[in-house]
Amino acid sequence: MKMTLPLVRDYMATRVTTLTPEVNILDAVDLLVEQQISGAPVVSEGRLVGMLSEKDCLRLLSKGRESDADVPTGTVGDYMVTDVRTIPPDMDIYYVAGLFLNNPYRRYPVVDDGVVVGQISRRDVLRAIQAFVPRE
């Protein structure tokens, strides 16, 4: 009997906080901190164009500051990463677990035909595998 593997669509978060490239970078940092999230997909006209992570923000804010003139300025588009690895909703959870084990990412945007439909985190994958492992 063939097992049906759990899929990303069954465990991904579907309510995803997104940013647009035009958002002020300091407002984006505030949003990540307030919502206690480690990053957010960046979308333009409904399509994924980048990702802004807390690491990107930390890099920006931790640069040496000599005066108030050194306060970071710019938009999310100036600091986001544009080479974003995405996951399709029909990918099996065990494959995604392997991606997390072999890459430094904490989350992947789930994209269907260029549109962000969700996000999957390490914790989501752990929860899926925990639920799938048979108990004695």
CA atoms within 13 A on the CB side of 128: 23
- What CA–CA distance (Å, rounded) separates 86 from 11? 15
For residue range 51-67, list pLDDT tens digits in order: 999 999 988 888 756 65
Average confidence score pLDDT of the chain: 90
Diameter over CA atoms, the chain? 67
For residue range 13-70, list pLDDT tens digits in order: 999 999 999 999 999 999 999 999 889 999 999 899 999 999 999 888 887 566 566 6
- Asked if 111 contacts 86 with a C-beta cutoff of 8 angstroms, the reply is yes
pLDDT of residue 131: 86
Query: Could you tell me what percent of the chain has a pLDDT over 90?
Result: 72
- What CA–CA distance (Å, rounded) separates 58 from 51? 14
For the chain, which domains are there?
8-132 (3.10.580.10)
pLDDT of residue 66: 60
